[in-house]
Amino acid sequence: MGLLSKSTEYALRAVLYVASRKDAKYVSIREISDELGVSFHFLTKILQRLTRKGLVVSYRGPGGGVALARPAGRITLMDIVEAVEESDLFTSCILGLAGCGEKKPCPLHGQWARERTGLGKMFRQTTIAKLAGHVVRDKLRLADG
Amino acid sequence: MGLLSKSTEYALRAVLYVASRKDAKYVSIREISDELGVSFHFLTKILQRLTRKGLVVSYRGPGGGVALARPAGRITLMDIVEAVEESDLFTSCILGLAGCGEKKPCPLHGQWARERTGLGKMFRQTTIAKLAGHVVRDKLRLADG
DNA sequence: CTATTTTCAGACATCACAGTCTGAAATTGG
DNA sequence: CCAATTTCAGACTGTGATGTCTGAAAATAG
């Protein structure tokens, strides 16, 4: 099992792509799906979710597309993950036990809680701006290959 | 998305349960599924996988059931995960990009690689014996509630 | 040998995620 | 107004993980 769902992977890649071309006003979903090599219609649904959540703004018609709703430096990975992913990786028990916590821990609770905290910190502290800058400077790819 | 699949969660809980009752020679799958509160038939399939992989030995007939194939101190969480889980969480790209690695990293590669290493260490260094001991000593539960 | 208990094996059903398709609504440009 | 472009909306299908069911095979006890 991957850490993130396909939907979340695509959402992150799409947002990073948009951020990495901040010269453009709106970036069309068709361009994004072509560049990322993913299904146009599927990506459309995912980006609509981000639009409804207010992370992205969209515009219809020629020259339209999507753009970030706020500066990339104020959007974190966690913002995207929470908007798309439903199950909460950062609070649930690694053995899937309901009610696992400090009071009634599962045998792995302590160790998993530590790892989970580190992961959460990474997602909360990393901004789209930082990664998009990384992409532009080092010419990193957002597609397979 | 959870970190582990349901199958892997059940496998870990079942193995921990068996290890925590090391007085018994064989523990029947019926007893395990009752104690864990999971489907008997589903758990049977998962334990058969562990049997085929050589982590567990089984015996049919009255008084039969499953037992650990080697001392719990020589079975790690990683052993179980690798036997049940197919996709490899500990080597794949967090954005799902094929060919992501040190040479052609995705923008998140560095950060994810660090977290991933910590996770892998936890799974590789933690033995069933340690956790089962934890369960027995502190009377921890392996079922919901 | 017979009946019971248990794992083994595989078919089948169910469900969520992933992906496809068609058409409506909005916007632009001529 | 008209045609083209693009997002929005939702129905539909495919696929793999999850879960259920039935019966065979092995072992035990009487």
pLDDT at A2: 85
pLDDT at B22: 85
Average pLDDT, chain A: 96
Q: How far apart are CA A66 and CA A15, in angstroms?
A: 9
pTM: 0.95
Q: How far apart are CA A53 and CA B24, in angstroms?
A: 54
pLDDT of B46 > 90? The answer is yes
Q: How far apart are CA B51 and CA B68, in angstroms?
A: 9
Q: Provide mean pLDDT across the span B107-136.
A: 97
pLDDT at B113: 97
SS3 A58: strand
CA of A93 to C1' of D24 (A): 38
pLDDT of B143 > 80? The answer is yes
pLDDT at B81: 97
Query: Per-residue pLDDT tens for A7-31?
Result: 999 999 999 999 999 889 999 999 9
Q: How far apart are CA B16 and CA B3, in angstroms?
A: 18
Q: Which nucleotides of C are covered by protein (CB under 7 A)?
A: 4-10, 17-22, 25-29
pLDDT at A87: 72
pLDDT of A1 > 80? The answer is no
Query: Per-residue pLDDT tens for B95-116?
Result: 999 999 999 999 999 999 999 9
Q: Which residues pair with B57 in a beta bridge?
A: B67
**Higher-confidence residue: B24 or B69?**
B69
Architecture category of domain B6-138 in CATH: Orthogonal Bundle (1.10)
CA triplet B99, A83, A25: central angle to 5 degrees? 75
- Test A142 with B106 for CB contact under 8 angstroms: yes
Q: How far apart are CA B68 and CA B57, in angstroms?
A: 6
Query: Per-residue pLDDT tens for A89-129?
Result: 899 999 999 999 999 999 999 999 999 999 999 999 999 99
pLDDT at B145: 84
Question: Can you tell me the ipTM of this complex?
Answer: 0.94
Question: Is residue A145 very low, low, confident or very high in pLDDT (cuts 50, 70, 90)?
Answer: confident
With a 7 Å cutoff on the CB, does B63 touch strand C? yes
Q: So where are chain B's domains?
A: 6-138
With a 7 Å cutoff on the CB, does A2 touch strand D? no
- CA-nearest residue of chain A to B17? A107
- Test A97 with B12 for CB contact under 8 angstroms: no
Query: Per-residue pLDDT tens for A26-76?
Result: 999 999 999 999 999 999 999 999 999 999 999 999 999 999 999 999 999
Please give the C-alpha separations between residue B112 and each of A33, A68, A136, in angstroms, as whole numbers: 24, 24, 19
Chain A residues 84 to 103 whose Cβ lies within 7 Å of strand C are 86-87
